[in-house]
Amino acid sequence: MIYVVMAAVFESLLFPVAIMSSIVFSIFGVFWLFWATGTVFTIMAFIGILVLMGVVVNNGIVMVEHINILRRSGLDRTSALVQGSRDRLRPILMTMGTAILGMVPIALSSTQMAGDGPPYYPMARAIAGGLAFSTLVSLLFLPTIYAILDDISAFVSAKFSRARELAPMAPRGDAVVQGE
């Protein structure tokens, strides 16, 4: 559903792929932190990954939309990628930093739901580990993935345009069907 909403908003099927790649990076971060801390994957960790997806996608949307605005204002792609990444670095780092710092008390505690329920710390560790890893990797790779997908889009558009130019024109008016 996230992809469908982004495809509608961006009016593109490719740019949401760049943003969705951030989710893959975040899941690597979750499992890296779980491995480092010896945390067992539980249902609470899965809930943490769902929360994480929303935050990570939001960071990607903020960056890609700003890059698209810069391109529509007349900047070439490379300049828009550099300027957009520079402009959105601070807001993305602030979002990541505050979310991770907010998770630290929960990640270090053993608080359980309703006293006897599952502990919260796997959820907090999933969010913190995924955000830390995906934000750092996304800031480096999201502009690159954007450029690659933009090249693919331009290539496909050029091929379709060329195919339309080379396609034989259908006869106009009454067509004679052979065999009649």
Q: Could you tell me the pLDDT band of residue 170, with boundaries at 50, 70 and 90?
A: low
Let me know if residue 108 belongs to a domain. Answer: yes
Q: What is the pLDDT of residue 175?
A: 54
Q: What is the pLDDT of residue 122?
A: 94
Let me know if residue 131 belongs to a domain. Answer: yes
Q: What is the pLDDT of residue 25?
A: 85
Let me know if residue 66 belongs to a domain. Answer: yes
Q: What is the pLDDT of residue 81?
A: 93
Q: What is the pLDDT of residues 73-91, one digit of tens each?
A: 999 999 999 999 999 889 8
Average pLDDT over residues 151-163: 85
Average pLDDT over residues 14-24: 86
Number of domains in the chain: 1
Contact yes or no for 164/146 (Cβ under 8 A): no
Let me know if residue 4 belongs to a domain. Answer: no
- Stated pTM of the model: 0.77
Q: Which domain holds residue 109?
A: 18-145
Q: Could you tell me the pLDDT band of residue 98, with boundaries at 50, 70 and 90?
A: very high
6 C-beta neighbours (distance < 10 Å), count: 22
Let me know if residue 110 belongs to a domain. Answer: yes
Let me know if residue 64 belongs to a domain. Answer: yes
Please state the separation of Cα 11 from the chain's center in Å: 15
Let me know if residue 70 belongs to a domain. Answer: yes
CATH number at residue 82: 1.20.1640.10
Which residues are 119's β-sheet partners?
A: 112
96, exposed or middle or buried, with CB in 10 Å at 0-12, 13-18, 19+? buried
Q: Is the pLDDT of residue 13 over 90?
A: no
Q: What is the pLDDT of residue 161?
A: 82
Let me know if residue 93 belongs to a domain. Answer: yes
